[in-house]
């Protein structure tokens, strides 16, 4: 792109193309002024599992995404952040040793569904408060943002697919921290639409949430090679590759700033299918960000979270015989079907039934040894969690 045109667009703060991936605001102060902790201390930490809460904010019914579409997004995250995704075999050999298992996994602990009175609620504000993040303003409150990654899935008016908040950004209050993904850029099924239909917008925005910058550094692009992403093993790069939303992906080698670009990195902006890797340096930066800015994530649990939504339904599932010396029985409201999942105190799934009917429901004594169990009962909209104590 001609540099004068680029500078003009940058001055106007306009996206370069009709549809684009990312509207994240990279703070110019904050996290980068703090030195990263020594790599050895970070590496010792090993695997991190981040519990994620999905808030579906729908204006048109098609935006009220199915559980299957939500799960497809969680599956993508657990592939992309563990280097288990497709496309790694196409990485040019010169970059192969840079491919990182980020050693980050995600568990879904709750889904909220809210009918919002506002179209494009993602970037609407009221007296400086972001509507999407507040129940009283037409969105849904964040759930314990110190301990959970909150993801709001809702439409927006700026043609961006998504946005992620950087840790330590003084401009973003804690209860508005998280990621914002447009419904048609979320997951791999249902309403997900090409070229952003492989779930990579959430991968990219969670990258920002964990302090990863775009590979070119600041601004929409960096044609003069003046800024950097603060990661050593990603080559200095000028362009975002956001124009690659059609048939073709960029071809290696694509040179800028004196070296071949790592255009297939998740922190660039081409079509979902053109991106496939994080680097070891990005892993170190993300783990350092969690330890420094989001340490609550390290203490969080993957146990499903019970939500007390204000819904018309008044009938509640009941847990009979608790504490119990054997099994237990549930009494489920007659009108619904339920998913029942039982977890032990360490969060391990010990039982799952995706199609339970209303009425009495017996839990086999053989499922349990002595201890505490959490029974998650879900009827699609609402999650109930019962604590069961087994003492023989």
In the complex, the smallest distance separating the C-beta of residue 124 from Zn ion, rounded to whole angstroms, is: 20
Taking Cα atoms as reference points, which of 190, 199, 242, 247 lies closest to residue 221? 242
Judged by beta carbon, residue 278 or residue 343, the one nearer Zn ion is 278
Judged by beta carbon, residue 24 or residue 72, the one nearer Zn ion is 24
- Number of helices (H), then strands (E), belonging to the chain: the values are 7, 15
Judged by beta carbon, residue 24 or residue 279, the one nearer Zn ion is 24
In the complex, the smallest distance separating the C-beta of residue 144 from Zn ion, rounded to whole angstroms, is: 25
- Cα 41 versus chain centre, distance: 26
In the complex, the smallest distance separating the C-beta of residue 113 from Zn ion, rounded to whole angstroms, is: 27
CA end-to-end distance (rounded Å), the chain: 73
Judged by beta carbon, residue 222 or residue 344, the one nearer Zn ion is 222
Which residues are at the interface with Zn ion (CB under 5 A)?
Answer: 22, 24
Q: List CB contacts of 25: < 8 A, sequence separation 6 or more.
A: 163, 166, 169, 171
Tokens 């090993």 appear where? 46
> Which residue's Cβ lies closest to Zn ion?
22
| Inter-residue contact 268 to 240 (CB < 8 Å) | yes
Judged by beta carbon, residue 162 or residue 281, the one nearer Zn ion is 162
How many C-beta atoms surround the C-beta of residue 24 within 10 A?
A: 22
- From 63, 163, 176, 205, the catalytic residue: 205
E-strand stretches of the chain:
20-22, 48-58, 104-115, 125-126, 129-130, 149-153, 160-164, 179-181, 255-256, 259-260, 318-320, 328-344, 349-363, 371-378, 383-390
In the complex, the smallest distance separating the C-beta of residue 241 from Zn ion, rounded to whole angstroms, is: 12
Give the tokens for residue 314.
Answer: 């008044």
In the complex, the smallest distance separating the C-beta of residue 131 from Zn ion, rounded to whole angstroms, is: 22
| Inter-residue contact 302 to 49 (CB < 8 Å) | yes
Q: Is 218 a catalytic residue?
A: no
Which residues have a catalytic role annotated? 205
């Amino acid at each position: 792109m001609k540099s004068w045109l680029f500078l003009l667009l940058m001055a106007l703060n306009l996206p370069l193309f009709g549809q684009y991936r990312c509207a994240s605001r990279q703070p110019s102060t904050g996290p980068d002024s703090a030195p990263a902790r020594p790599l050895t201390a970070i590496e010792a930490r090993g695997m991190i599992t981040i519990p994620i809460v999905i808030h579906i904010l729908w204006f048109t019914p098609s935006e009220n995404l199915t559980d299957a579409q939500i799960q497809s997004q969680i599956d993508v995250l657990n592939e992309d952040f563990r280097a288990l995704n497709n496309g790694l075999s196409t990485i040019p050999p010169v970059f192969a040793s840079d491919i990182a298992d980020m050693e980050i996994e995600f568990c879904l602990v709750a889904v909220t569904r809210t009918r919002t009175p506002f179209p494009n609620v993602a970037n609407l504000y009221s007296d400086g408060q972001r509507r999407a993040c507040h129940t009283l303003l037409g969105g849904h409150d964040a759930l314990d943002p110190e301990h959970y990654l909150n993801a709001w899935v809702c439409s927006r008016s700026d043609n961006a697919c998504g946005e992620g908040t950087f840790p330590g950004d003084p401009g973003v209050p804690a209860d508005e921290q998280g990621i914002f993904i447009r419904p048609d850029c979320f997951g791999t099924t249902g309403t997900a639409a090409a070229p952003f239909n492989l779930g990579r917008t959430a991968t990219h925005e969670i990258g920002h949430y964990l302090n990863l910058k775009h590979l070119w550094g600041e601004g929409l692009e960096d044609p003069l090679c003046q800024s950097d992403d603060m990661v050593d093993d990603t080559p200095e790069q000028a362009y975002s590759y956001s124009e690659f939303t059609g048939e073709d992906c960029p071809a290696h080698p694509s040179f800028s700033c004196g070296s071949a670009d790592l255009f297939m990195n998740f922190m660039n902006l081409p079509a979902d299918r053109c991106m496939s890797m994080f680097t070891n340096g990005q892993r170190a930066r993300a783990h350092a960000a969690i330890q420094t800015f989001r340490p609550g994530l390290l203490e969080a649990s993957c146990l499903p979270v019970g939500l007390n939504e204000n819904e018309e339904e008044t009938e509640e599932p009941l847990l009979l015989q608790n504490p119990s010396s054997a099994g237990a029985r549930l009494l489920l409201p007659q009108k619904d079907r339920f998913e029942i999942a039982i977890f032990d105190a360490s969060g391990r799934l010990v039982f799952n039934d995706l199609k339970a009917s209303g009425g009495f429901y017996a839990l086999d004594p053989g499922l349990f040894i002595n201890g505490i169990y959490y029974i998650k009962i879900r009827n699609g909209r609402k999650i109930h969690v019962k604590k069961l104590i087994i003492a023989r």
